[in-house]
């Protein structure tokens, strides 16, 4: 993504707010793929084409902008994810949250 | 993320539509971190704490749900991203798009 | 919202990209309220507190930023919505789309 | 929107999670319109076509799904917005927050 950006001289567009908006746009496209599917059939439908290919493309776009945003911000994304998962493991002990989604409020 | 989910018996919550909503929630938290920053100062501010640490945590959350969604959908996310980037490289030849953002309409 | 903004001298923060990010943040909070609810129970749960009150607050926040964004862009939001609905009525004739969600691709 | 939905027998698709995803999709389209615009030129560009017309259409779509979601949830959206704004007025006294964006953390 860094090379792709430099070859086109697009780094000038990649300030943080613009990249977050691009990320939002791609997540919106993922949402559009799934919005009207019956919740209990979405997984089966997503395992077959045409949805399978389309979902892969849109998730790829999300990852691409996420990685680019992390690069611009000088964040080690893999390390951040491992750290966060370790932190979440401590916050939500399996014995206390077994089969229970953490409440959002 | 797969182990984390299984240890808590949370796979039951991870149907595609729910995971897309969780992804949206995390992207929303990234947006909130940057929304009121002056565009031309956002990068410098993000390179310093407290924003640096907060941004890393929220990008980590986005990655975590993105990877989980890809896992549930049986999508090879890294391969999908490489394929998409190769496709984008062909669609946007550097000589035709040098310094020019592709128009959205 | 216009008065609220002027009283606090916050118009300086309300450029279009910042307001879109604020809108995204609020939509993300709506998503978080619903993400882990079983799809077939979400409506009943949303008709009762605490979710009822929380959903009203978050939808209010979405409307607030949407209206503010329209104001800044000098868009007559109600007129735009009526026009769009009329346009959609023509694009999706009831007899052709009865009980059939328009496909997204 | 209620009539539009009933004429097409689309109420079956309008459970809360699906409508939130549709709202996300439309907000994503708004984000795509603005993502690569220079922050300090976005407002001027949005006051002229083609962006002016496109922005009106996408904001209209956001409002349409927001109103539909509120209808399904039996929320009085205008009242909720007035209540929230009154609440925000109390939380952010003009004298304490003059020219100062509330910090997000």
Measured in angstroms, the CA of C65 and the nearest CA of chain B are apart by 12
Distance CA B77, CA B66 (A): 9
Backbone angles phi, psi at A98, to 5 degrees: -65, 115
Q: What is the pLDDT of residue C101?
A: 84
Residue D104 to residue B40, Cβ atoms within 8 A: no
Chain B residues lying within 8 Å of C17, measured CB to CB:
39
Chain B residues lying within 8 Å of C18, measured CB to CB:
35-36
Q: Please, are residues D25 and D64 in contact by the beta-carbon 8 Å criterion?
A: no
Q: Please, are residues D37 and D26 in contact by the beta-carbon 8 Å criterion?
A: no
Q: Would you call A16 an interface residue with chain D, using a CB distance cutoff of 8 Å?
A: no
Q: What is the arithmetic mean of pLDDT over B80-92?
A: 96
CATH topology of domain B2-94: Helix Hairpins (1.10.287)
Q: Which chains touch B (3 or more CB pairs under 8 A)?
A: A, C, D
Q: What is the pLDDT of residue A81?
A: 97
Least confident stretch, B48-52, B100-104, D61-65, D85-89? B100-104
Residue spans of chain D under pLDDT 70: 103-105
Nearest to B63 by CA among D101, A27, D16, C27: A27
Chain B residues lying within 8 Å of D50, measured CB to CB:
105
What's the burial of C31, exposed, middle or buried (CB within 10 Å: 0-12/13-18/19+)? buried
Placement of tokens 């008709």 in the chain: C47
Distance CA C74, CA C40 (A): 40
Q: What is the pLDDT of residue C104?
A: 64
What ranges in C11-93 are assigned the alpha helix state H?
Answer: 16-34, 42-46, 51-73, 77-91
Q: Token digits for B47?
A: 């390179």
Residue of A nearest to D18 (CA): A35
Measured in angstroms, the CA of C74 and the nearest CA of chain B are apart by 20
Q: What is the pLDDT of residue B30?
A: 98
Q: What is the arithmetic mean of pLDDT over A33-47?
A: 97
Q: Would you call A69 an interface residue with chain B, using a CB distance cutoff of 8 Å?
A: yes
Q: Would you call B17 an interface residue with chain C, using a CB distance cutoff of 8 Å?
A: yes
Measured in angstroms, the CA of C44 and the nearest CA of chain B are apart by 17
Give the architecture-level CATH label for domain C2-97.
Orthogonal Bundle (1.10)
- Hey, CA dihedral for A38, A39, A42, A43, is it positive or negative? negative
Q: Which chains touch C (3 or more CB pairs under 8 A)?
A: A, B, D
Query: Is the pLDDT at C105 greater than 90, yes or no?
Result: no
Nearest to B31 by CA among D66, A6, D28: D28
ipTM: 0.95
Query: Is the pLDDT at B97 greater than 70, yes or no?
Result: yes
Count Cβ atoms below 10 Å from residue B7 Cβ, excluding itself: 15
Q: Render pLDDT for A89-105 as a digit per residue (tens, 0 to 9).
A: 999 999 999 998 877 65
Residue of D nearest to B39 (CA): D39
Q: What is the pLDDT of residue A105?
A: 53
Measured in angstroms, the CA of D79 and the nearest CA of chain C are apart by 8
Cβ within 8 Å of A, B 71-100? 72-77, 80-81, 83-85, 88-89, 92, 94, 97-99
Q: What is the arithmetic mean of pLDDT over C76-104?
A: 92
> What does the angle CA B57 – CA B62 – CA B64 come to, to the nearest 5 degrees?
90
Confidence of residue C102 (pLDDT cuts 50, 70, 90): confident
Q: What is the pLDDT of residue B27?
A: 98
Query: Is the pLDDT at B86 greater than 70, yes or no?
Result: yes
Residue D92 is classified by DSSP as S
Nearest to C14 by CA among C29, C27, C1: C1
Q: What are the sequence ranges of the domains in chain D?
A: 2-97
CA atoms within 13 Å, Cβ hemisphere of D92: 19
Cis-peptide, bond into residue C55, ω within 30° of zero: no
Q: What is the pLDDT of residue B101?
A: 84
Check: pTM over 0.80? Answer yes or no.
Answer: yes
Q: Render pLDDT for A50-87 as a digit per residue (tens, 0 to 9).
A: 999 999 999 999 999 999 999 999 999 999 999 999 99
Least confident stretch, A21-25, B64-68, C29-33, D95-99? D95-99
Nearest to B26 by CA among A39, D102, A97, C35: C35
Which of C13, C25, C39 is nearest residue B32 as measured by Cβ atoms? C25
Q: What is the pLDDT of residue D105?
A: 53
Q: Which of C35, C41, C62 should be substituted to probe chain B, the one whose Cβ sees the most B Cβ atoms within 10 Å?
A: C35
């Amino acid at each position: 993504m860094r090379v792709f950006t430099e070859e086109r001289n697009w780094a000038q567009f990649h300030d943080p707010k613009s990249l977050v908006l691009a990320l939002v746009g791609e997540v919106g496209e993922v949402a559009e793929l799934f919005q009207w599917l019956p919740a209990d059939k979405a997984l089966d439908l997503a395992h077959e084409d045409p949805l399978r290919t389309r979902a892969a493309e849109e998730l790829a776009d999300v990852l691409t902008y996420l990685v680019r945003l992390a690069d611009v911000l000088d964040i080690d994304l893999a390390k951040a994810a491992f750290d966060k998962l370790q932190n979440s493991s401590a916050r939500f002990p399996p014995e206390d949250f077994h089969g229970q989604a953490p409440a959002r409020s």
